[in-house]
């Protein structure tokens, strides 16, 4: 390195062409840049007015709403014990919203969930129906047990669906009884 000892401070070009003198070089850097370099001029204050306040409120509201929408997919890891305590105080409607179904005509087919998942909501509906009319079903079951040999008890017109459910149950019971009789015969 021929230039190491002799020309360390020399530049390869004529420094006066740029208008810089030897003495006006900035200080050489010692270490990394500071994290918050100090500025000579303070920034201009923010605009403050009715418009800005309104837009600020809009922004914060929108952020809050979008975080509560079903589009906001939370990681499953968040569902710890603590979350369920607060969920008791959430309205039922908010929890129902979590099952959001998009318009599948606008999305590619491969994004649809697998077919076995489609069956679940159907099952849920049946379960829900039964749970809603649980009390009434219990009462009619008790009536049936009382009047077992009298045939179908009278039902009001509003409960046609319940009638079908009960008839289905009765048919199962009758079939069970027939099956038992057949079993008995075979054993003999």
Rounded to 5°, the CA angle 13-17-21 comes to: 90
Decide if residue 95 touches another protein (CB under 8 A).
Answer: no
Minimum distance of another protein from residue 19's CB (angstroms)? 4
Decide if residue 118 touches another protein (CB under 8 A).
Answer: no
CA terminus-to-terminus distance, the chain: 114
Decide if residue 121 touches another protein (CB under 8 A).
Answer: no
In the list 4, 6, 22, 71, the residue contacting another protein (rule: CB under 8 A) is: 71
Decide if residue 85 touches another protein (CB under 8 A).
Answer: no
**Which of these, 146, 143, 170, lies nearest to 155 by C-alpha position?**
143
Decide if residue 110 touches another protein (CB under 8 A).
Answer: yes
Decide if residue 36 touches another protein (CB under 8 A).
Answer: no
Decide if residue 130 touches another protein (CB under 8 A).
Answer: no
Q: Compute CA distances 82 → 44, 56, 88, 96, whole Å.
A: 44, 31, 11, 20
How far apart are alpha carbons 156 and 86 in whole angstroms?
A: 42
Decide if residue 34 touches another protein (CB under 8 A).
Answer: no
Minimum distance of another protein from residue 8's CB (angstroms)? 19
Task: Judge residue 172's burial from the number of C-beta atoms within 10 Å of its C-beta, 0-12 exposed, 13-18 middle, 19 or more buried.
Answer: exposed
* Angle between helix 134-146 and helix 160-187 axes, rounded to 10 deg: 50
Decide if residue 3 touches another protein (CB under 8 A).
Answer: no
Q: CA gyration radius for the chain?
A: 39
Minimum distance of another protein from residue 32's CB (angstroms)? 16
Binding site for another protein (CB under 8 A): 12-14, 17-20, 24, 26, 39-41, 43-44, 46-48, 51-52, 54-56, 58-60, 62-63, 65-67, 69, 71-75, 89, 91-93, 102-103, 105-108, 110-113, 132
């Amino acid at each position: 390195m021929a230039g190491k000892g002799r020309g360390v401070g020399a530049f390869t070009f004529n420094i006066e062409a740029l208008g810089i003198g030897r003495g006006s070089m900035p200080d050489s850097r010692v270490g990394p840049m500071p994290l918050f370099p100090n500025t000579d001029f303070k920034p201009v204050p923010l605009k403050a007015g009715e418009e800005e306040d309104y837009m600020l409120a809009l922004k914060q509201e929108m952020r809050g709403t979008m975080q509560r929408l079903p589009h906001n997919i939370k990681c499953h890891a968040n569902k710890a014990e603590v979350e369920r305590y607060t969920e008791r105080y959430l309205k039922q409607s908010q929890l129902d919203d979590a099952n959001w179904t998009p318009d599948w005509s606008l999305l590619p087919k491969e994004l649809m969930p697998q077919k076995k998942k489609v069956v679940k909501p159907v099952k849920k509906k049946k379960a829900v129906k039964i749970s809603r009319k649980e009390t009434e079903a219990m009462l009619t079951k008790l009536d049936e047990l009382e009047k077992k040999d009298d045939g179908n008890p009278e039902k009001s017109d509003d409960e046609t669906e319940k009638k079908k459910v009960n008839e289905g149950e009765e048919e199962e019971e009758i079939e069970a009884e027939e099956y038992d009789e057949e079993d008995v015969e075979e054993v003999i």
